[in-house]
Structure 1
């Protein structure tokens, strides 16, 4: 109990810290750790892939999915911070949010809690480690499916000879008309269930965000997959998609996060 309380207090304190009054400190720490993991994977990817291709792909997918969600959470925090500054001109002035990290401890003590703070003066939502875990778990579990799918496309529609371009186009068609709709359905279903939602929540998620996400997918991914299938070696195809997909997964993360709090300028309730 004491350990959990200490951990919660430490996370709450880290969530209240900003670098130069702009960038959430905890988000930055998580992002740096993830980049370090990516650096290790990049340096040794070929060796890992040669020995354990599926496991290597699973770990790579998980890390890149985590980066995407961290980016999404950071963008949300920055956006809400800007919104609060517009609603409350005094927000961020002479308080612990606006002081540089190096000067923070000297000027302002740690906040004990913010339950009694008006919503318009609170900071953006804290970093959600459970949400990060869900995204990493989804990337980890989907990697074997992607690995099998890309292997199937490689076997059925080989890139070589005089049919390289035509087979690449066929791969894109197969991928976008079969795998993409199913993949998005799996994504929103997994995330909703992992968040504790039931059948109704899944149906509501599909009604609200599935079709817009699928339309956005058709605007982004055909060209990316054409480049992927035509040029990228098969062992790098999933990492390439996952890397390009950081922005895409960040978009999905923000689309899936339907519980973003709304702040109003007249909200003075605790």
Structure 2
């Protein structure tokens, strides 16, 4: 009995080591993306002066990839924490199981089936990068429209900023979220039913979360940031937002 208990303890410790490791592939991909983003940042003005739309598209794609990688890292670490919690329960249940050999183990006790940490989802990463890439020209035209429709003046710079924010949040934000969830659902192979369910379950909560974060960000963006940096600024701030969207979309998918 003692030998069997020791084997179970060692097996549990080995599993805890395996599930406790930092997801190496996720981290490597994140570091590569950050290196590319740093390169883009260093040469952004030069690239933007030559090809503004393409530069914006590539920047959006890279930052969208960073955001989804962050989301996948969060998911991996969540899985690790849950697994470690279950392993702790296993240590408590080992002696109880030895005392009651006739009772089969149930879920949560020693011997239940462990699930492997989620592998890095390259298809999901590609979807997010493609969305950022193809959405950039629309954002480019939209920001240009706002700057022309509501030009900032030295006499009254505040009112045009609030008009830009109002137009952006009440027109473009609902449209952008609708594009995001529609694109992701279709790219994942979902049909009309899946799309309707996603809009029913997550669209309005996500739009409400948008209204909490983005008005303040856009006030700063339109008031302070030069126009060529406005989309990259939004994309940088949007890393956390896009990670939230990625987690929301993937949780709904699962």
TM-score between the two structures when normalised by the length of structure 1: 0.77
Provide Cα deviations, 1:88-146, integer angstroms capped at 9, x if missing partner: 2288xxxxxxxxxxxxxxxxxxxxxxxxxx87523321110000000000000000000
Structure 2 equivalent of residue 180 of structure 1 = 173
Structure 2 equivalent of residue 194 of structure 1 = 187
Structure 2: tracts of 5 or more residues without a match? 1-14, 91-110
Structure 1: tracts of 5 or more residues without a match? 1-15, 92-117, 262-270
More helix by share: 2
Q: Please give the secondary structure, in 1, of the residue aligned with 2:190.
A: coil
Aligned length: 220
Q: Please give the secondary structure, in 2, of the residue aligned with 1:23.
A: coil
Alignment partner for residue 132 of structure 1, among 118, 125, 130? 125
Q: In structure 1, how many angstroms separate the alpha carbons of the residues matched to 2:57 and 2:172?
A: 18
CA drift at 1:63: 0.2
Structure 1 residue runs of 4 or more that deviate by more than 4 Å after TM superposition: none
Q: In 1, are the aligned partners of 2:20 and 2:84 still within 8 Å (CA)?
A: no
Q: In structure 2, how many angstroms separate the alpha carbons of the residues matched to 1:64 and 1:209?
A: 23
Structure 1 equivalent of residue 56 of structure 2 = 57
Provide Cα deviations, 1:156-181, integer angstroms capped at 9, x if missing partner: 10112222111000000000000000
Larger radius of gyration: 2
Structure 2 equivalent of residue 87 of structure 1 = 86
Question: Residue 43 in 1 paired to residue 32 in 2?
Answer: no
For the structure 1 residues 172 and 119, does the alpha-carbon distance in structure 2 shift closer, same or farther, using more than 3 Å as the test?
A: farther
For the structure 1 residues 251 and 120, does the alpha-carbon distance in structure 2 shift closer, same or farther, using more than 3 Å as the test?
A: farther
Mapping for residues 112-123 of structure 1, pairs under 5 Å? 120-123=113-116
Question: Residue 26 in 1 paired to residue 19 in 2?
Answer: no
Q: In structure 2, how many angstroms separate the alpha carbons of the residues matched to 1:217 and 1:245?
A: 11
Larger mean CA deviation between 80-89 and 234-243 belongs to 80-89
Mapping for residues 251-270 of structure 1, pairs under 5 Å? 251-258=244-251
